[in-house]
Amino acid sequence: MWQILRRNPRALYGSLGLHLIVGVLLFVSARFMPPTLDVGYKPRVVQASVVADRVLDAMVAEIQATSTEQLVTPEAPVAEEASARADEEQAQQDAAKQAELDAQRQTQEAAQREEQRQAELAARRQTEQEAARQAAADAQRAVEAKRQAEAAQRAEQHQAELAAQRQAEAQRAAEAKRQAEAAQREEQHQAELAAQHQAEQEAARQAAADAQRAAEVKRQAEAAQREEQHQAELAAQRQTEQEAARQAAADAQRAAEAKRQATEAARQRRIAAEAERMAEAEAKQLAADVARQNATQAEQGRQQATESQRAREEDLLSALDSEQLAHETDRYAPAIQDRVSQFWIRPPASARGLMAIVSLRLIPGGEVVPNSVRVIQSSGHAAFDQSAIAAVYQASPLPVPSGSAFEPFREFDLKFNPDKL
């Protein structure tokens, strides 16, 4: 090998130059940066022959064999020069073949790189298409989500409108209920005022009747006094009637006892008749005494008769006042019970027919004194007793008379039996 190089050094230099050129071409054709893909780029098809490594090795071996044969053949200097030229040409041919092989290899590599680039471009296009499909799907999902959100918002707004409508209806119903309760309270207040006015009218009529009865009693007392004076003048003539007068007095007492047990109207009539009979009996007694005494004693007797008549009048007026108070009590007690029953609420599971007696204190005008109501006779049902106390407080003020007729109601006992009203 060294002999061949000593004899034909240009072949060595040509071979080294050819390898250097191929190396430079390989270095220049190498891509150090990733290729930039153009979307509108269309690949150009290049025809190339793929040469296997075995073929290349066979061609190189053939070139080397040819060069060895030329070097071994002894020739003359002319032949050596021709051989040198032939070697040079052969070297050039070999270099051309090697360049062609290198070009083929480069073309093959370029085709592989182009195929790889096309595959990468197809993969990128597929990725872009998949991304586009994904973006379209995302956009569709976003549109659907927006539509659902708008539908949910519309449903929520509709629910809010329905809630506002229900709230407005509830407010209107509450306002109507409040107005109905106010109208009911006003109607109840008017009914109470009417009842109070009627009670006042009844009291006025009763007072007029009582005044009329008092005037009648006074007239009868004056008549009795005049009769007593007349009887005193005739006392001498009626001395024999003393025993009869005492008997009449006893009868009058028995009649008075019987009259107290009669009705109110009969009692009023009996009181007036009893007063007249008592006046007659006392006049007869006084006449008998005057007959036994002198004229001075008769005068004193007349004065005593006058005083006794005045005392009897006062007693009669006191009895009338007491009867009037009793009448006022009997008249206002049912009104008070009815008023309390209007505010009474029956407790659950309470039997009918229960009755309780409560004690209470009032002030003029009918206001119940706080903490004054207490049960003095229980119904046996604690809830019923407490409901009666609560009804008394809620019914305040109670209907009561005014003036002296109020005194019996300042502190009194109320029999509460709502089932019998």
What is the set of domains in the chain, with CATH numbers?
A: 2-30+45-141 (no CATH), 207-329 (no CATH), 339-420 (3.30.1150.10)
pLDDT at 387 over 80: yes
Among 105-114, 252-261, 330-339, 404-413, name the one with the lowest average pLDDT. 252-261
pLDDT at 249: 45
Among 53-57, 206-210, 363-367, name the one with the lowest average pLDDT. 53-57
pLDDT at 261: 54
- Tell me the per-residue pLDDT of 63-89, one tens digit each, with 9 for 90 and over: 767 655 554 444 456 677 888 888 888
pLDDT at 77: 63
pLDDT at 113 over 70: yes
The model carries a pTM of: 0.28
pLDDT at 359: 94
pLDDT at 219: 80
pLDDT at 391 over 50: yes
Q: How confident is the model at residue 268 (pLDDT cuts 50, 70, 90)?
A: very low
pLDDT at 397: 92
pLDDT at 271: 46
pLDDT at 287 over 60: yes
More confident residue, 180 or 52: 180
pLDDT at 155 over 50: yes
pLDDT at 266: 56
pLDDT at 2: 62
Query: What is the overall mean pLDDT for the chain?
Result: 76
More confident residue, 418 or 363: 363
Show Cβ contacts of residue 306 under 8 Å, excluding neighbours closer than 6 positions.
225
pLDDT at 299 over 60: yes
